[in-house]
């Protein structure tokens, strides 16, 4: 019996010893790995062709700017989650993933956003990505996408960076909260006015009761005093009521202004969405993606936004008009390219309009003088 117990205890002690050795070995390996220097920090950039908004060198500078570059650090000093979150803070980065190899190399794969247009407007130099994210352009890096110019005013200000849909929801939500606060203020004024009218009614209905022992002169004096008090009270009530009415008028004007701001913002959001869809259509067609280099958008205000297109071929301007019937207008324009421009020449017209019902209306370019032609030949 004692022999069996000794065998069991021996096995238990052996297993415990093995586990202890494994734990200490693991802890030692972990300590050694944490103190292992980073041997390399490799960054790969993935994105659509022609959209070179960032490269490996710019991302290395980005991490150094945020004092988180792994260079010169050990594995234990590097937090991959923080490294990824800092990468995502770059507006041109859509996604980032990092991992550490066995030999101490950090490899990060970055997916950059796909821009669809560039806003080169007064005070603006922003890219708009396919996912609706807006970010400022970076010196030395560019994407070959249609450039939006003209008097068009986006729904966001010059300093905005972020998701347009979220910006719209937050902005309209903020304005609606302002309206709710004003409505609460109006309710408070209405409540005060109601109470004031109830008190005024009580004052108006009040009378002097003549007691048995009250003299006529005393009674008449009390009635006169009550009359003067009622007149003064009503005058003060009317003045306060006028002030309350003025406050209500101010609040209603403020509410009207906020509602106008909401309507303008929704109008600008609708224009922006139409502009996005227009550019996406252009990019979906190989010919128009190469042909349309610039879109001149007018400031719409309360009217519809109008577009003019600057093509790569010729010296003419395409008057596109409103952002409606986009497909039929481009089909009419394509037919005109193939059947007319190829035969009459690319410099025959200076304006080609498809503004109305898909019809193509042209205005001839002024003819060059003999001197100008000679100079152009020279």
Q: What local confidence, expressed as pLDDT, does residue 296 receive?
A: 95
> Do 185 and 257 fall within a single domain?
yes
What is the domain-level CATH number for residue 100?
3.10.20
DSSP tag of 161: -
Query: What's the mean pLDDT in 72-90?
Result: 86
Query: What's the mean pLDDT in 63-80?
Result: 85
Domain boundary at 217, 241, 267, which? 267
Q: What are the phi and psi torsion angles at 83 (to 5°)? A: -60, -40
In a domain, 135, yes or no: no
pLDDT for residue 326 is more than 60: yes
Averaged confidence pLDDT in the chain: 84
DSSP tag of 206: -
Say if residue 178 is exposed, middle or buried (CB neighbours under 10 Å; 0-12, 13-18, 19+).
middle
pLDDT for residue 347 is more than 90: no
Query: What's the mean pLDDT in 287-312?
Result: 88
Higher pLDDT, 159 or 2: 159
Instruction: For residue 275, give every residue at least 6 positions away whose Cβ sits within 8 Å of its Cβ, in sequence order, or none.
Output: 117, 148, 152, 295, 297, 305, 323
pLDDT tens digits along 109-152: 999 888 999 999 988 999 999 989 999 887 767 788 999 999 99
Residue whose tokens read 């794969």 = 109
Q: What local confidence, expressed as pLDDT, does residue 2 receive?
A: 61
In a domain, 327, yes or no: no
pLDDT for residue 33 is more than 60: no
Beta bridge partners of 147: 118, 294
Q: What are the phi and psi torsion angles at 71 (to 5°)? A: -55, 130
In a domain, 62, yes or no: yes
Q: What local confidence, expressed as pLDDT, does residue 136 receive?
A: 87
Instruction: For residue 244, give every residue at least 6 positions away whose Cβ sits within 8 Å of its Cβ, in sequence order, or none.
Output: 189, 192, 193
In degrees, rounded to 5, the angle at the alpha carbon of residue 166 between the alpha carbons of residues 160 and 169 is 110
In a domain, 210, yes or no: yes
Number of structural domains the chain divides into: 2
pLDDT for residue 28 is more than 80: no
Higher pLDDT, 7 or 307: 307
Query: What's the mean pLDDT in 350-359?
Result: 84
Higher pLDDT, 34 or 63: 63
Beta bridge partners of 186: none
Q: For residue 322, count other CB atoms closer than 10 A to its CB.
A: 16
State how far the Cα of 315 lies from the Cα of 312, in Å rounded to an integer: 8
Strands, E, within the chain: which ranges?
Answer: 40-46, 51-52, 93-100, 105-112, 115-119, 126-129, 133-136, 142-143, 147-150, 162-163, 292-297, 306-311, 317-322, 349-353, 361-364
pLDDT for residue 228 is more than 70: yes
State how far the Cα of 179 lies from the Cα of 253, in Å rounded to an integer: 11
Higher pLDDT, 164 or 2: 164
In a domain, 98, yes or no: yes
Residue 51: which domain range? Answer: 40-112
pLDDT for residue 334 is more than 70: yes
pLDDT for residue 371 is more than 70: no
In a domain, 134, yes or no: no
pLDDT tens digits along 204-221: 889 888 888 888 888 888
Domain boundary at 112, 143, 163, which? 112
State how far the Cα of 150 lies from the Cα of 300, in Å rounded to an integer: 11
In this prediction, what percent of the chain has a pLDDT beyond 70?
85
Structure tokens at 13: 């002690």
Domain boundary at 215, 248, 267, which? 267
pTM for the whole thing?
A: 0.76
Cβ(295)–Cβ(277) under 8 Å? no
In a domain, 287, yes or no: no
pLDDT for residue 73 is more than 60: yes
pLDDT for residue 48 is more than 90: no
Cβ(91)–Cβ(161) under 8 Å? yes
> Do 106 and 188 fall within a single domain?
no
State how far the Cα of 286 lies from the Cα of 125, in Å rounded to an integer: 25
pLDDT tens digits along 230-274: 899 999 999 999 999 999 999 999 999 999 999 999 999 999 999
Helix (H, G, I), strand (E, B) or coil at 106: strand
In a domain, 63, yes or no: yes
Structure tokens at 20: 């202890």
């Amino acid at each position: 019996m004692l022999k069996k117990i000794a065998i069991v205890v021996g096995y238990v002690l052996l297993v415990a010893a093995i586990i202890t050795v494994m734990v200490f070995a693991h802890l030692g390996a972990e300590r050694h790995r944490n103190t292992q220097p980073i041997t390399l920090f490799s960054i790969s950039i993935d994105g659509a062709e022609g959209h070179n908004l960032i490269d490996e060198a710019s991302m290395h500078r980005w991490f150094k700017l945020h004092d988180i570059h792994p260079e010169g650090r050990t594995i234990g000093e590097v937090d991959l989650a923080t490294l990824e979150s800092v990468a995502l803070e770059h507006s041109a980065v859509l996604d980032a993933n990092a991992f550490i190899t066995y030999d101490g190399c950090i490899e990060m794969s970055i997916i950059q956003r796909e821009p669809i247009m560039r806003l080169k407007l007064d005070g603006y130099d922003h890219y708009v990505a396919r996912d609706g994210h807006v970010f400022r352009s970076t010196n030395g890096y560019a994407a070959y996408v249609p450039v939006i110019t003209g008097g068009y005013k986006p729904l966001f200000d010059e300093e905005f960076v972020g998701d347009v849909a979220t910006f719209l929801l937050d902005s309209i939500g903020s304005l609606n909260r302002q309206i709710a606060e004003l409505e609460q203020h109006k309710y408070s004024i209405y409540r005060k006015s109601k109470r004031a009218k109830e008190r005024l009614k009580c004052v108006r209905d009040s009378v002097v009761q003549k007691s048995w022992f009250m003299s006529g002169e005393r009674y008449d004096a009390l009635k006169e005093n009550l009359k003067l008090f009622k007149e003064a009270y009503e005058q003060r009530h009317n003045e306060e009521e006028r002030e309350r009415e003025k406050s209500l008028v101010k609040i209603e004007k403020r509410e009207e202004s906020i509602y106008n701001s909401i309507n303008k913002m929704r109008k600008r959001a609708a224009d922006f969405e139409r502009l996005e869809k227009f550019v996406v259509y252009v990019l979906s067609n190989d010919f128009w993606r190469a042909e349309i280099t610039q879109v001149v958008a007018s400031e719409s205000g309360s009217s519809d936004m109008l577009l003019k297109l600057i093509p790569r071929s010729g010296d003419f301007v395409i008057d596109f008009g409103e952002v409606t019937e986009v497909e039929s207008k481009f089909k009419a324009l394509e037919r005109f390219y193939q059947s007319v421009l190829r035969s009459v020449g690319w410099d025959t017209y200076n304006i080609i309009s498809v503004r109305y019902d898909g019809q193509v209306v042209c205005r001839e370019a002024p003819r060059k003088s003999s001197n100008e032609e000679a100079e152009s030949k020279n």
